[in-house]
Amino acid sequence: MFWRSTLAVSAAVVVATGLAAPAVATAEAAEWQATVLPLPAGYPDGLAWLTGTDGNGHYSGTLQHSSEMSVLLYNGSEPVVAGAPDGCSGAQVSDENSSGLVVGSAYNCDVSIYDQGFVYQDGTFTLLTPPGQYTMAWVLDVNDRGEIVGHVMAPDTTTPAATAVWSPFAAEPIVIPFTLEGQYAVDIDDDGTVLFSSDEGPAIWRDGELTMLPVPNGYRSTMAFAMAGGHVVGSAISSTTAAQVSLYWPTPASTPQVLSGPGQAYMVNRSGLAVADYPATTWDNGVPAGALPVPEGFGGVQADGVGDDGTILGEGGDVSVAPGNPIIWRRG
């Protein structure tokens, strides 16, 4: 599929569907170049994938080995296995900010049989204390102010699950109760805005107020997956064809734009570079920016993150979609 460049046609689409007019591509996107990073020595059964970067050549992800998971770091192309917090069997990375603060979730910890959130920086792990009566925590993302968003649950069935924000500006974690059907947090922006998806549509939470995002006419099951610098990506299903499409909101108040091309846009950076996981495809502020190449010898690749420097993080293997070797992509 290609962007429609005829203004009359684009205007008709806006009127008929309630979608923003798609951007018109004026130049071909620069080709993406893939770099396969080495797996750490001593883990013959190891599989790895990347999910975080500081945007300055440091990458973080997860090494799966012998049924366990460990924090895996790269300074450039040199892998370092950082392991897991003391007293925990394993850990999985979810994100990293520009200060090199790595966040994720640990499991089978001495302090609790339940999963715990953690931060890692300068060689030190610190477990995050769940708020109040909650005992379980799964960390999703961290912003450049060091605010961390995650899911929290209590061991009893009467306490509802919630979203928590661990903030350096608050003495205690902030608990955000769910007020929408099927609500769950997916991201946190640099100004502290928390992005939610729900059965009722996507929403943002800011300073205690929940605001719904505009949804497209003629579509259902609108979801949001990521937010950065005010840019939001998500998906919806056509009410007429049942086809799933990717959506891009330039701002949370904007009418969403349907993204042309294959793949599901799950990631976006603060410059508006959106990335689909599989097939691994990119868009730049709504304009198609090229597919991610599969390195020689790999059967397939999957994107798992994008940095604010434009580096895309992911993995490749000898089958269509499988963890295996960590890969980074940059524009040529």
- Please state the domain extents for the chain: 17-331
The pLDDT of residue 320: 52
The pLDDT of residue 13: 28
Q: Which residue has 């947090």 as its token pair?
A: 185
Q: How confident is the model over 70-109, as pLDDT tens digits?
A: 999 999 999 999 999 999 999 999 999 999 999 999 999 9
CA dihedral of 71, 73, 79, 84, whole degrees rounded to 10: -20
Average pLDDT, whole number, for the chain? 89
Say whether pLDDT at 27 is over 90: no
Query: Percentage helix, strand, coil, to 5, in the chain?
Result: 5, 50, 45
What distance in Å separates the CA atoms of residue 216 and residue 213, rounded to the nearest whole number? Answer: 10
Q: How confident is the model over 270-306, as pLDDT tens digits?
A: 999 999 998 999 999 999 999 999 999 888 899 999 9
SS3 96: strand
- What's the whole-model pTM score? 0.89
What distance in Å separates the CA atoms of residue 49 and residue 320, rounded to the nearest whole number? Answer: 15
Which two three-digit tokens encode residue 229? Answer: 């610098």
CATH superfamily, domain at 17-331: Peptidase/esterase 'gauge' domain (2.130.10.150)
Core vs surface per residue 36-55: b (16+ CB within 10 A) or e: bbebbeebeebbbbbbbbbb
CB 196 within 8 A of CB 206: no
The pLDDT of residue 87: 94
At residue 16 the predicted structure's pLDDT band, cuts being 50, 70 and 90, is very low
3-state per-residue secondary structure call for 204-235 = EEECCEEEECCCCCCEEEEEEEEEECCEEEEE
The pLDDT of residue 14: 30
Which two three-digit tokens encode residue 203? Answer: 């929403």
Phi first, then psi: what are they for 11, rounded to 5°? -65, -40
The residue ranking higher by pLDDT, 212 or 20, is 212
Phi first, then psi: what are they for 276, rounded to 5°? -95, 145
CB 16 within 8 A of CB 4: no
Q: How confident is the model over 225-254, as pLDDT tens digits?
A: 999 999 999 999 999 999 999 999 999 999
Q: How confident is the model over 195-213, as pLDDT tens digits?
A: 999 999 999 999 999 999 9
Specify the amino acid at residue 223.
M
